[in-house]
Amino acid sequence: MKCHDGMYIGGEWRPAASSDTIAVINPADEQVIGHVPAGTAEDIDAAVRAARAAFPAWAATPPAERAALIGAVRDALAARAGDIAATVTAELGAPPPLAAGVHTGLPIAIAGSYAELAATHPFEEKVGNSVVHAEPVGVVGAITPWNYPLHQIVAKVAPALAAGCTVVLKPAEDTPLTAQLFAEAVHAAGVPAGVFNLVTGLGPVAGQALAEHEDVDLVSFTGSTAVGRRIGAIAGGAVKRVALELGGKSANVILPGADLGKAVAVGIANVMSNSGQTCSAWTRMLVHTDQYDEAVRLAAEAVAKYVPGERVGPLVNARQQQRVRGYIEKGVEEGARLVAGGPEAPLETGYYVSPTVFADVTPQMTIAQEEIFGPVVSILRYEDEEDALAIANGTVYGLSGAVWGEPEAAVAFARRMDTGQVDINGGRFNPLAPFGGYKQSGVGRELGAHGLAEYLQTKSLQF
């Protein structure tokens, strides 16, 4: 795999401050595929200075010109689609069709959506005797996870650039090569020097230095709730803006009026995709007691199609594999019934976990409360709609969800869920719809016009 041995700062690849490196590992075969520099506070400081220096001119660039450059980034990503997909397969382990689709096609589409939004968004509004200007917040520190390596980057950088902000990105240590390809695309597109900067490195070193840097105006973080809490505290202490996109434990609620077969099959597919490493995955399936046994049977049947090493890739690293296997052991210990999978690794090499379905899961069990981030589905039983609602809302999270049933009943139920997104009867993902969490799933929204608003602040002029 192609690796840069420097940081992309101020429009060029510069030597890193330290000679320490991070080994990038292919989780499917456990082989080292490359090394990237491990950034320090010094690299972060250089990148923030470059972003600050570039900010006034970028903020003053007419939105239509910013839009054209974001469109050029989109095209540069599209021109590299093959390389991006191959890199996501190599460093994340995503099976090639998934790498080409969700991991490459989706972020290219989102970059395109921000080229359009930058050109059409009303950055100026008249309110009575005032004109309200939407101005960029400033220098953005973006910290991203490995689960959707390119999407997580584009979902922050594209709206930030559309708003007129400049950016320093610290990507996940497990997937830095996709981030380097993104930097190449930004460079090829002709985005002015310093508008986008990349520092690879470890979270507690480079990530923390970025969150703490006093010249960063907004920290946008996606990842675990534990780290998000710390980032929020740092931002609060410095009175800077913060956006947090954290974990989830979403419910797939199957009402009695639903197409049970479809609801179960789509629900299983939703969790197995990306080996369960999706913050919005519907990891709890809620089924009425009268349909429970049939749903469990259908789920066991559906999950058999997800063969590790074929349709299902490995987890990203050995630590995540161990973590998820530990949760499966915990489920068994607490009395849930395994109907598929289990804690044993299905393949000798690679960080694979068996696609696992648990029945007889009760709402208090650890596997029904904590984010597992692996291919594990828990099926819970409910007695009536009020019971289903209490279970659905009964976690600290609220990122996503699904409801299946008669359309009106499904919508009424969805409106009572404490969560940021709900798919009704298999409604398609909409890249323009705001994405983000209620409760401990986060603060702020990504995607579409709502995602753009995160990077803007208002100034009112009275006449």
Residues with a catalytic annotation lie at: 245, 279
Separation of alpha carbons 248 and 222, rounded Å:
12
**Residue 242 is a binding residue for ligand NAP (CB under 6 A):** no
Nearest C-alpha neighbor of 92 from the set 168, 167, 38, 144: 144
Out of ligand NAP, Mg ion, none, which partner does residue 425 contact, by CB within 5 to 8 A per kind? Answer: none
Give the integer Cα–Cα distance in Å for 66 and 111: 12
> How many angstroms separate the CA atoms of 12 and 6, rounded?
9
The answer to whether residue 83 forms part of the interface with ligand NAP (CB under 6 A) is no
Sign of CA dihedral 313, 318, 321, 325: positive
Number of residues in contact with ligand NAP, rule: CB under 6 A? Answer: 28
Q: In the beta sheet, which residues pair with residue 7?
A: 14
User: CB 301 → Mg ion: shortest distance, Å?
Assistant: 36
User: Binding of ligand NAP at residue 178 (CB under 6 A)?
Assistant: no
- 335 CB neighbour count, 10 Å cutoff: 10
Q: Kindly tell me which residue out of 227, 295, 299, 414 binds ligand NAP, with binding defined by CB under 6 A.
A: 227
Residue tagged 């202490």 (tokens): 237
Footprint of ligand NAP on 126-145 (CB under 6 A): 143-145
b/e map 157-174, b = 16+ CB within 10 Å: bbbbbbbbbbbbbbbbbb
User: Based on CB atoms, which residue is closest to ligand NAP, 54 or 179?
Assistant: 179
- Which residue number, 104 or 175, has a Cβ lying nearer to Mg ion? 175
How many residues touch Mg ion (CB under 5 A)?
A: 1
H helices, E strands: number in the chain: 16, 20
**Element housing 442 (H / E):** strand 442-443
Beta strands in 29-187 (DSSP E): 31-37, 124-127, 130-136, 139-143, 166-170
The distance of closest approach from Cβ of residue 120 to ligand NAP in the complex, given in angstroms and rounded to an integer, is 29
211 binds ligand NAP (CB under 6 A): yes
The piece of 102-110, 197-205, 211-219, 374-382 that touches Mg ion (CB under 5 A) is 197-205
C-alpha distances out from residue 33 to 97, 98, 180, 386, Å: 21, 20, 14, 51
- Distant-in-sequence, close-in-space partners of 29: CB < 8 Å, separation ≥ 6: 349, 350
Q: Which positions from 259 to 298 touch ligand NAP by CB under 6 A, shown as an x/- string?
A: --------------------x-------------------
Of 78-86, 206-214, 330-338, 381-389, which segment contacts ligand NAP by CB under 6 A?
A: 206-214
Q: How far is the CB of 226 from ligand NAP (least distance, A)?
A: 7
User: Which one, 73 or 92, has the nearer CB to ligand NAP?
Assistant: 92
Contacts of Mg ion in 202-231 (CB under 5 A): 203
- Nearer to Mg ion by Cβ, of 203 and 331: the residue is 203
Closest CA to 350 of 313, 376, 375: 313
* Residue 130 neighbours by CB distance under 10 Å: 14
The answer to whether residues 171 and 144 touch, using CB atoms and an 8 Å cutoff, is yes
Exactly one of 40, 222, 252, 291 binds ligand NAP (CB under 6 A); that residue is 222
Give the chain's radius of gyration (CA, Å).
22
Stretch that binds ligand NAP, among 199-207, 334-342, 383-391, 408-416 (CB under 6 A): 199-207
Q: Which residue number, 172 or 365, has a Cβ lying nearer to ligand NAP?
A: 172
Nearer to Mg ion, 202 or 424 (CB): 202
Burial class of residue 151, CB neighbours in 10 A (0-12, 13-18, 19+):
buried
Among 166, 178, 208, 354, binds ligand NAP (CB under 6 A): 208
- Closest CB to ligand NAP: residue number: 203
Does 373 sit near ligand NAP (CB under 6 A)?
yes
Q: Least distance (Å) from ligand NAP to the CB of residue 323?
A: 6
Q: For residues 225 and 425, which CB has a smaller minimum distance to ligand NAP in the complex?
A: 225
- Closest to Mg ion by CB, 231 vs 299, is 231
Provide the binding-site residues for ligand NAP, judged by CB under 6 A.
143-147, 170, 172-174, 202-204, 207-208, 211, 222-224, 227, 230-231, 245-247, 279, 320, 371, 373
Provide the binding-site residues for Mg ion, judged by CB under 5 A.
203
